Amino acid sequence: MRNFCAAPNCTRKSTQSDLAFFKFPRDPARCQKWVDNCRRADLEDKTPDQLKKHDQLCAKHFETSMICRTIHFAEASEN
């Protein structure tokens, strides 16, 4: 997995301990929304499994209300 955010022009790295990173979802429709919002042509040809394995987005690209936190992990919500 790459250790940087997949959003265009974002230089944040997953090595930053104060920032959550989210893997792309496996659900095809939800994954496509993430790809569309990234506006990166190089992500268009990848499958949801490829994206989940290799790419991620940092929390700065999600509204706080879209992130569900538990003791064990943080997850981007359906929205």
Angstrom distances, CA of residue 23 to CA of 5, 19, 28, 40: 10, 13, 13, 16
The three-state secondary structure class of 21 is strand
Instruction: Answer yes or no: pTM beyond 0.85.
Output: no
Q: What is the pLDDT of residues 18-64, one digit of tens each?
A: 888 989 999 999 999 999 999 999 999 999 999 999 999 998 888 77
Q: Please name the residues in contact with 60: beta carbons below 8 A apart, sequence gap of 6 or more.
A: 5, 7, 10, 12, 19
